[in-house]
Structure 1
């Protein structure tokens, strides 16, 4: 019997508290403190000991037998050191055995065992532990952790989540060592040695020794298995498996599957495919022959073969090379859009000359409703190609573009390959809609996956994850659409030819409404052309007062609303007559007007300047107000402005202070004057680098008392030196100025090159002044 003095010194002045608990001997298992495990108990005395514990405080003493085959162990048959445990769950099984869930509490050394009539009881004392020093604790834990991690990487004995819980035990070295020991497949004798070791430093040393030994044994066994596997004769193995599969198929009555294989072989021979794809599909067919028709893997292989055989590898639709007819189709379907049409005709002209060119990647950027997608459809009609559309709005999974790996259940190719199969031709017009609306998350970045597909230098060898063979996309005419250019990632934008579609003027909207939308809606609403007449004033009123957009989508809805009400009246009265929609009757069909044009001031006033702004719905007038009040030089800027406009206001005030002498302003005005700059309609967010000179003009006007001409509008950014910088959206801004009665517009000199995009009629009716410095702006804007 082990001496108790091995665990503590009776002369140290401390009396060990003796405890008494029912005993349950264990076979082939060692329970460590703070470890929870299940034990199965079948011996009658052990079952009664568990029952006795459940009546009391649910505590039990567990120790391991030296020989697991002994049915009635005495104290000599048991290890003296065991574990005090708590029963957390007890379940009686149908066969009479009991399953108990126990949790270790602490080590204990048996002093005496009493064999009662119904169960065994032991007297024991707790086993003291010799703690580690702080330096030894960190070193011991790190060394054992590295060895344990190496073993887990080889064997996979525990999950990764186990390490998270293990990390929380680093401040308890004893529990840390016991938790790792409980997880490893050590011999019972080795685990008992660790349980009996009260010196924690010695326990870490033993644990490291056992882990290294187990790692070596596991590595050696893996090497032996590898050698045995390599020595197998591959040819004999394949012959054996083939014969076995034939016998299985014959027994299962699957001989009819041979006809299916013959059909697949005929399709493979008849299909024109690249050499790589043809080799892969033949190899997959050989695999399929070796599989059972009812296996899930056979279904995966069969679907893969069908995909490879159904793709239009070399099947092309004949492209029309009639440039005049193509131009007629584009003009028939769309009014305006000269730049996109010109680029399409250039592509056709070059294709006629060289027979084959790399498919261009066009990106049509513009507000909603300007006809980007319908233009792509017209391009397909003009070139004689098939048309297909892929909506990318909200796509966030990279596999939507590049396909899923075939290891996944329900794997499929990406949207591009799926669309080509649906179209049946290798050279369609493929419209990728809303390319700026893609997002990214943990499933990948679909915009990056598009880089290969939309790169003319790389898409000849596009690799879909499902197909795993290269596919040539260079024959496809890609047309992408987006609402805003800056939301397209720069690497993707670099691979596309961007064509801006800024929006339509009121004149263009009128032409589109009368030439396209009204005839279309009359037909869709079941009416006749002779029954409906829209006056010019009525159409213009709907455009200006019931829609506010760059495109014509809402305009079409409003026209359809008018026609639906007329159709309802016809059905209700059961009479058909000629209906005239005039400016006076528009409100009858559509109700009160939804929008109003910006209203100019009735007279020239100080501190009020008209700026020009760009929105997705087109251009707008932007009123900027400035006032002064007694104060200490504080500058306030309000109107729900973005950072850019706030900084423009600060720059404008700084410019005025630096030039106060030349502007006839008191040099110390900022000592006793506060300036408040406000842009009305504060609920609407406003931002952008185009209001700097307007804010500066307002500040100068209010400080000098000189009014600003109400018929002058301006747009441009300002530097601290007074230089005027160019802006974007010039066409929309000038259209807004013209529509609201502005006579003179002040622009940056560098914007002179952009005036070519503005209709001549608008240019002729506006006095456009080009300036380079702020002093020129004030000269034209302020009234003497």
Structure 2
């Protein structure tokens, strides 16, 4: 690396070049950021390997070395094209080797030469040169004398303005009478750009060279005068504490005076143009303009300016008045919904109703729907389907495990790294103010010291309030009334009641065996064949095989596990095809175990059911659908103790106590001694199998009572009968929930008779008609009716 450490000018103490014998071929060294003029003595640091080689070669011969400026100072290894043609032949006066391996050399410029030919470029440049003689200046005319005097005066003014005026240098300048030498001396001290200094060097006519220096001096004097004025003005306005700001203002004003536009001004102009084009409410535009004015007044490197810039970007990126046009063709919407999902008629009807209302009333607010159902029934994918049917943008955000209220409302801008909430981010990403925003797993929102996100959702999911939703970061009302919110949950128990009240709950029950078969055939199998790189002709799978896989390899209300099993079959066939097999491969009930192993589950319908007194089948609801609940009661001599096993919850234990109390109140009906001694001389043990699984809830009340009644009377319960309902001490049967899921569980277990509470009769409408035809329901008001149906054979 070479740079001029300090620029020195000598006039009378340099070696005369009148008798200098310049060889035809010289070593040449490229220098950066400096142009060497005639009569200069200058120290240089030499660091590049090729440059050190050139200096050494010169020292070994006649100490003559050509110095020439390179066009681009950033290039460490310049080629011949990167170097100017005109330079100076210099005499190396002294050299000093530094500890880091570099050389410090003192050189004196001797003669101006032009490169005629490059002899070699490695290990250093060797060039053939032609000496450039200055033209005759002739007699100094009045015009030339005036120019020389002007050059001297302007040089003195510039040095005075810059604070580097030297009496010795000015004495030398005033004593020079030759135009060429004056031009060289002044040009070397002007701090010009390399290309401008090179222009002066290459000019051989002394008068023209002086004229060129005079023009550059005039420009530099203007710049220096403006700079001095700026310094004076800035010094008056700025204090010591704002020194950095003052320096940047100085630069800004200088660039403005020269007509150059800096990046800061361009940024402000760009933001102003974007703000002018953007459609937004008046109050938003007013706030954006205010923030832009603040930003323009601030120092560009201040942290506050960065915060405002990011805030303005958010304002300009949000779709305040940009909407997508709804597709209000009901027939098309129905076609899309039917194509993407099988069944789910209730939800499809609700979406079509919304579109119909939207068609008649454009200003209707977006509904807030909550899809509740077991995992894998298609809640999330249904949201995408709705968006496609309506022609809206779709954005999904997961609320599962969210514990920070700022995730919804955002952080205030005073915090480091503050951001808007997920709602505002969704609007920005979707690019419209009326997307379909799906909030997954709303039943799994938590709360801690950072706040309760479900409380923040109360404003978001309220059509009467969300037209002026307040985000802490944006700090201005945001209209969410056009957004269609869809939430999903596996259960409603954990959703706070005020939040649940704001949503229209639509329940998705599990699929029947027939529905699973159709969905697997139409959707899951083709999708897995495609994803695993197969062709439909390479895999044959009958409907019976799919049904067998559903019943013997999965036990779920949804479809995720059956899709995994189909995917497993496809992967194994894909391996065969990849190994050279041609197929087609047929998967049947006989060979499915070869792909999936032995069956993972045994259908309830294939289990051997014992028919003994004290054994009753109940129905339970879980997050993943309906389940069969077997209840066993055994009676033995004792002292009237009641034992409960099977990981029962408190509510279920209380139902068992109520069931026993009911049986004790029916001593005569049971044919026992009226004094009640039977219950004092016997112990009762109630057990619910699958003891490792926790169980709770009141809906097994009548099942527990029937099991006790059956065990005491030693009568068997009717075959293919199940029951559900809550019991009171007086034997009344109270309603329960999840009737459809429980009915599906009964069908899977080959049970066709179900005892239900009288008040649940209206819920039968939710059960598809084809299922209702396969089942017989017995609505009951009290426990006496249950006993007659279960043990007495009442129709």
**Aligned residue runs from structure 1 range 84-103, under 5 A:** none
Shift of 1:603: 5.6
Asked whether the 8 Å contact 2:387–2:394 carries over to 1, the reply is yes
User: Is the alpha carbon distance of 1:431 and 1:665 closer, same or farther for their aligned partners in structure 2, counting shifts above 3 Å?
Assistant: same
- Please tell me whether residue 662 in structure 1 is matched to residue 669 in structure 2: yes
Q: Deviations over 1:427-475 (max 9, x none)?
A: 1111111111111111111111111111111111111111111111111
The answer to whether 1:741 aligns with 2:747 is: no
Q: 2:726 aligns with which of 717, 731, 743?
A: 717
In structure 1, the partner of 2:687 is 678
Deviations 1:279-298 (A, max 9, x none): 11111111111111122221
Would you say the 8 A contact 2:670–2:712 is kept in 1? no
2:434 to 427, 432, 435: 427
1:247 offset after TM fit, Å?
Answer: 6.8
Could you say if the C-alpha distance between residues 241 and 753 of structure 1 is closer, same or farther in structure 2, counting changes exceeding 3 Å? Answer: farther
Deviates more, 1:581-590 or 1:741-750: 741-750
Deviation, structure 1 residue 725? 1.6
The TM-score, its normalising length taken from structure 1, stands at 0.67
1:581 pairs with 2:590: no
Are the structure 2 counterparts of residues 675 and 481 from structure 1 closer, same or farther at C-alpha, using a change threshold of 3 Å?
A: same
Deviating more after overlay: 390-399 vs 701-710: 701-710
Answering whether residue 788 of structure 2 is matched by residue 779 of structure 1, we say yes
Contact 1:624–1:677, Cα closer than 8 Å, also in 2: yes
Aligned-partner SS, 2:475: coil
Q: State the partner residue of 2:289.
A: 282
User: Does 2:302 match 1:295?
Assistant: yes
Compare 621-630 and 255-264 and name the one that shifted more: 255-264
The residue number in structure 2 matching 1:250 is: 250
* 1-structure distance, mates of 2:569, 2:468: 52
Matches within 5 A, 1:309-348: 309-348=316-355
1:365-376 equivalent positions in 2, closer than 5 A = 365-376=372-383
Partner of 1:417, secondary structure, is helix
- Provide, for residues 543-565 of structure 1, a one-character-per-residue CA deviation record: whole Å limited to 9, x for no partner: 11111211111111111111011
Match of 2:534, SS state, is coil
Residue 15 (structure 1) aligns with: none
Identify if the C-alpha distance between structure 1 residues 602 and 433 changes in structure 2 by more than 3 Å, giving closer, same or farther: closer
CA-to-partner distance for each residue in 1:659-691, whole Å, 9 max, x for gaps? 111221233211211111111121111112221
Residues 243-272 of structure 1, C-alpha deviation per residue, up to 9 Å, x if partnerless? 996774223677612222122211111111
1:487 matched to which residue of 2? 494
Give the 3-state SS of the residue equivalent to 1:765 in structure 2.
coil
- Asked if residue 510 in structure 1 is aligned to residue 496 in structure 2, the reply is no
Contact 1:600 1:710 in 2 (8 A): no
Residue 38 (structure 2) aligns with: none
Q: How many Å apart are 1:597 and its aligned residue? A: 2.3
Match of 2:443 in 1: 436
* Preserved contact between residue 706 and residue 783 of structure 1 (Cα < 8 Å): no
Shift of 1:623: 1.3
Distance 1:560 1:436 in 2: 30
Match in the other structure for 1:17: none
Secondary structure of the residue aligned to 1:520 is helix
Other-structure match for 2:478? 471
SS in 2 for 1:405: coil
Aligned to 2:707: 698
Shift of 1:313: 0.5
Verify: 1:593 aligned to 2:599, yes or no: yes
Contact in 2 for aligned 1:370/1:550 (Cα 8 Å) = yes
Q: Deviations over 1:317-365 (max 9, x none)?
A: 1111101100100010001111111111110000000112111111111
- 1:590-620 C-alpha deviation (Å, 9 max, x unpaired): 1111112236655631111111122233322
Provide the residue aligned with 2:276 in structure 1. 269
Root mean square deviation of aligned Cα = 2.0
CA distance in 1: counterparts of 2:566 and 2:361, whole angstroms? 46
Further displaced range: 611-620 or 493-502:
611-620
What per-residue deviation string (whole Å, max 9, x for no partner) do you get for residues 500-550 of structure 1?
Answer: 112211111111101111111111111111221211221111111111211
Do the aligned partners of 2:510 and 2:744 also contact (CA within 8 Å) in 1? no
Structure 2: distance between partners of 1:240 and 1:545: 86
5+ residue gaps, structure 1, are 1-238
Change (3 A) 1:743 1:380: closer
Query: What secondary structure sits across from 1:650 in the alignment?
Result: helix
Secondary structure at the residue paired with 1:754? helix
1:626·1:678 contact (CA, 8 Å) conserved in 2?
yes
Partner secondary structure for residue 782 of structure 1: helix
TM-score, normalised via structure 2 length = 0.67
Following TM superposition, by how much is the alpha carbon of 1:402 offset from its aligned partner in structure 2, in angstroms? 0.7
CA distance in 2, matches of 1:766, 1:306: 61
User: Distance between the aligned counterparts of 1:365 and 1:712, measured in 2?
Assistant: 28
Matched residue pairs, number? 546
Correspondence 1:496-575 to 2 at 5 A: 496-572=503-579, 574-575=580-581
CA radius of gyration, larger in: 2
Are the aligned partners of 2:409 and 2:470 in contact in 1 as well (CA < 8 Å)?
yes
CA distance in 2, matches of 1:602, 1:544: 18
Separation (CA, whole Å) in 1 of partners of 2:620 and 2:404: 37
Give the match's secondary structure for 1:307.
Answer: helix
CA apart distance, 1:488: 1.1
